[in-house]
Amino acid sequence: MLARRSVREMAPAPLRSILALVGWVTVARAIRVADPLGRTRRVPPSAGALHPVEVIVVAGGRRAPVLLRVDPGSARVQVLSERRTGRAGRLLARLPELLPRARGTALVLLADYGRTAAVYRKPDSLLWRDAGALLASLQLAAGGMGLVACPTGLLGEEVGDGLFHTNERVLAAGTMLVGLGSADHPDGSRNADALALTA
């Protein structure tokens, strides 16, 4: 974990590696029996074990992106359809402006506001906390799986709008790019030796 870092230069990783990462982090390890809220235990912590934040994988190029989801219950990959086509492509067009040397796959976090609001009176901070825990878990797991990752600072509302147009329960909660480190510097760093960690 001490080697964790945001890497802004990356090459595309095989889609199976990206899906394996998302599945490892988001698939339920245990499910509470007879629970009407469907609470689960997963890698990242979540308020009330609700896990209201989903990870959408935006694969392919900006002209014909494919939206994928790893189902937390079955671990099966699902292909999603945009209700408003072209929205995911808009997100992919924005990413090179922020990270011009990162050619990774975009992960978009979408939160179900209503899921947390059904249990907590003030769900906002809990949703953002859950999204942050999920982003951190994805980045740490990426490093452990030989991938590199970088949160982008974009929320990903284009994907939320494309999938759930006018649904106020869906909140775009963050994006990150995941890929492979460059051949010269597998961790993606030009100054790997300059970072000294002392005990």
Residue 114 inside a domain? The answer is: yes
Residue 30 inside a domain? The answer is: yes
Residue 41 inside a domain? The answer is: yes
Task: Evaluate if residue 184 carries a pLDDT over 50.
Answer: no
Residue 46 belongs to a domain with what CATH number?
3.40.109.10
91-125 per-position pLDDT tens digit: 999 999 999 999 999 999 999 999 999 999 999 99
DSSP string, the chain: -TT------BBPPPHHHHHHHHHHHHS-SEE-TT-TT--EE-SS--GGG---EEEEEEES-SSS-EEEEE-TTT--EEEE--SSTTHHHHHHHHHHHH-TTB--EEEEEEEEHHHHHTT-SS-HHHHHHHHHHHHHHHHHHHHHTT-EEEE-S---HHHHHHHSTT-TTEEEEEEEEEEB--SS-TTS-S-GGG-----
Residue 137 inside a domain? The answer is: yes
In this structure, what token pair is assigned to residue 125?
């901070």
Residue 191 inside a domain? The answer is: no
Overall number of domains in the chain = 1
Residue 63 inside a domain? The answer is: yes
Mean pLDDT score across all residues of the chain: 89
**pTM of the full structure:** 0.89
144-183 per-position pLDDT tens digit: 999 999 999 999 999 999 999 778 899 999 999 999 997 6
Residue 198 inside a domain? The answer is: no
In this structure, what token pair is assigned to residue 137?
């878990």
Task: Evaluate if residue 56 carries a pLDDT over 50.
Answer: yes
Domain extent at residue 37: 15-180
Residue 199 inside a domain? The answer is: no
